[in-house]
Structure 1
Amino acid sequence: MADGTVTAYRRMLTAQVRSMTQYRASFAIDLTTQTVFTVLDIVAVLVIFRVTPSLGGFTLKQVLLVSSLAAIGFALADLLVGNVERLRHYVRTGLLDAVLIRPLSALGQLLVLDFAPRRLGRVLFSATLLTVVVSTSDIDWTPSRVLLLAITPLSAALFFSAVFVLTACVAFWWIDSGEFANSLTYGGRDFTSYPVTVFDGLFRRVFGFLLGFGFVGYYPALGILGIPDPLGMPSFFVWGGPFVAGIAALLATVAWRTGLRHYKGAGS
């Protein structure tokens, strides 16, 4: 990437961050609110365990490991890429036309122009939760498990980033696609907060395996904990996260490029 391009992105990002943090009280409230949303997701898990000693065959700490791995992946993706969901607003208002005439990547501009630093609170809380869960769990650490723990948040972030872009691309054909997009992004986040054994039938097969959400936190957690899959899937599934994320990223790239070619402008 040329130095001029990097400078342009840096200045756009700096301006966005300054505009968001100019009113400190408002920014602090937004930061706290965003963090609370993630906290409530974990509280929901704790509430469930008030009435049951196990969930889908897993203990509280084991479920929290699944939840925290998924939470940090989603939080990173939401911070870096989540604002791409505003694409439907750009398409509807014609602002995408202004983005396309600039000599910069359209996707890169969308990510920088609507960057929301208030979402950083989610990342910090999720990282803290994962650290606490891992440090208090009885895990027999091996080099492969350490590696799995290191790459899982990154592959989860890549996977959720691809989901954000894929669902946003629907706006090129269907502008009012917000509810559909949310059902896969935020619905997928909720799905990954629990072991896939909690779900059953077609729903588990579609979300867990066909769409790949089961490889975000569930299978990596099995590998880190060193326990077999109750569903009887092969042991190499615990390493499926990076591969599923790579496939999702490839599909997102194709969908984005196809959508841009399909887009004819606000006046067409």
Structure 2
Amino acid sequence: MASSRALHDPHAPVTNLVLLRLLVSARLRSQLAYRGSFLSDVAGQVLLGLTEFVELYAIVHNVSSFGGMTFAQTLLVFGLASVAFALGDLLLGETDAMSETIRSGKLEVLLVRPLPVLLQLATSDFQLRRVGRLIFALAALAAALLFADITWDPGKVLLALITPLAGAAIFCALFLGAGAMQFWILDGRQFANAFTYGGRYVASMPGAALFFPIQIFFTFVIPATLVAYAPSLVILGLNGPAGIPAWTGWLGLPAAVVLSGLMLLLWRAAIKKYTGAGG
């Protein structure tokens, strides 16, 4: 109701939520104007997800178990991680290219507008084609839930519903932190990618296949294993390795809240520190 008043009454207050709706709808309309190009982009994203699945299949199909998991169980980890990453990339993937935004002087344009910089970045190049990756991820997750032979109870159902959202929040926080780091390390996009795309790679595989120090790092420092593997242990009724015990499967949501808070503080410090591109 408030958004419709803002659209028709020039004196009505315009909230950030209304502006977000207007900006995103404008981006979506422009992308849907060229249906053929849009569909080919979506197909490309689906193909990218399929390629990642084929990579997983090539690793797992020749062995009876991978990291103590069957193929169907490994597919559950892959599906949960892929859905979480696809959502995070859709929402805040643009912050990954912060160094280019700073060098081009585009950040100055964003700073003088009466809108939060993060909101503008999230909508500046909103790519609906990324939905293709999400579509494939949801299909992989549905197949895993069907074939993984899960004995359901209310707790597992709740965890299965929360896990993709908590994982998406973790990836959003990682993207935000990656963008913030590029204020200090201007050519640090590849360094930042080690935490975002590296985190995605770790999240999509059984954590028991990792060396113990890596298990600890990607559970309690960068919580990549909490995105999918640790919750999968609870859902499947499995025991985890020494570095990722099964009880960590319930830590995804708290980790997402803590990490998001820390990365927002880092982002605010980066914006406050910024003094201009020097152009």
- TM-score, length-scaled by structure 2: 0.91
Establish whether residue 250 from structure 1 lines up as the match of residue 264 from structure 2. no
CA contact (8 A) 2:215 2:244 kept: no
2:193 is aligned to 182
Separation in structure 2 between the aligned mates of residue 148 and residue 109 of structure 1, nearest angstrom: 32
Separation in structure 2 between the aligned mates of residue 6 and residue 210 of structure 1, nearest angstrom: 33
1:101 is aligned to 112
Separation in structure 1 between the aligned mates of residue 220 and residue 18 of structure 2, nearest angstrom: 41
Establish whether residue 9 from structure 1 lines up as the match of residue 17 from structure 2. no
Shift of 1:235: 4.1
Matches within 5 A, 1:119-130: 119-130=130-141
Separation in structure 1 between the aligned mates of residue 274 and residue 174 of structure 2, nearest angstrom: 20
Establish whether residue 163 from structure 1 lines up as the match of residue 174 from structure 2. yes
1:64 is aligned, of 65, 72, 75, to: 75
Corresponding residue SS for 2:149: coil
Separation in structure 2 between the aligned mates of residue 201 and residue 233 of structure 1, nearest angstrom: 9
1:136 is aligned, of 144, 147, 164, to: 147
Corresponding residue SS for 1:81: helix
Query: Residues 200-239 of structure 1: CA distance to partner in whole angstroms, max 9, x if unpaired?
Result: 1433332233211111111100010111213275542110
Establish whether residue 23 from structure 1 lines up as the match of residue 37 from structure 2. no
Corresponding residue SS for 1:132: helix
CA 1:21–1:175: 2 relative to 1, 3 Å? farther
Structure 2, unpaired ranges of 5+? 3-12
- Equivalenced residue count is 268
Larger mean CA deviation between 41-50 and 248-257 belongs to: 41-50
AA of the residue aligned to 1:104 = L
Separation in structure 1 between the aligned mates of residue 127 and residue 215 of structure 2, nearest angstrom: 32
2:251 is aligned to 240
CA contact (8 A) 1:77 1:157 kept: yes
1:149 is aligned to 160
AA of the residue aligned to 2:32 = T
Query: Residues 133-172 of structure 1: CA distance to partner in whole angstroms, max 9, x if unpaired?
Result: 1122211110000000000000000000000000111121
Corresponding residue SS for 2:23: helix
Corresponding residue SS for 1:173: coil
AA of the residue aligned to 1:218 = Y
Query: Residues 100-145 of structure 1: CA distance to partner in whole angstroms, max 9, x if unpaired?
Result: 1111111001101111100001111111211121122211110000
Structure 1, unpaired ranges of 5+? none
AA of the residue aligned to 1:73 = A
Separation in structure 2 between the aligned mates of residue 126 and residue 67 of structure 1, nearest angstrom: 8
1:211 is aligned to 222
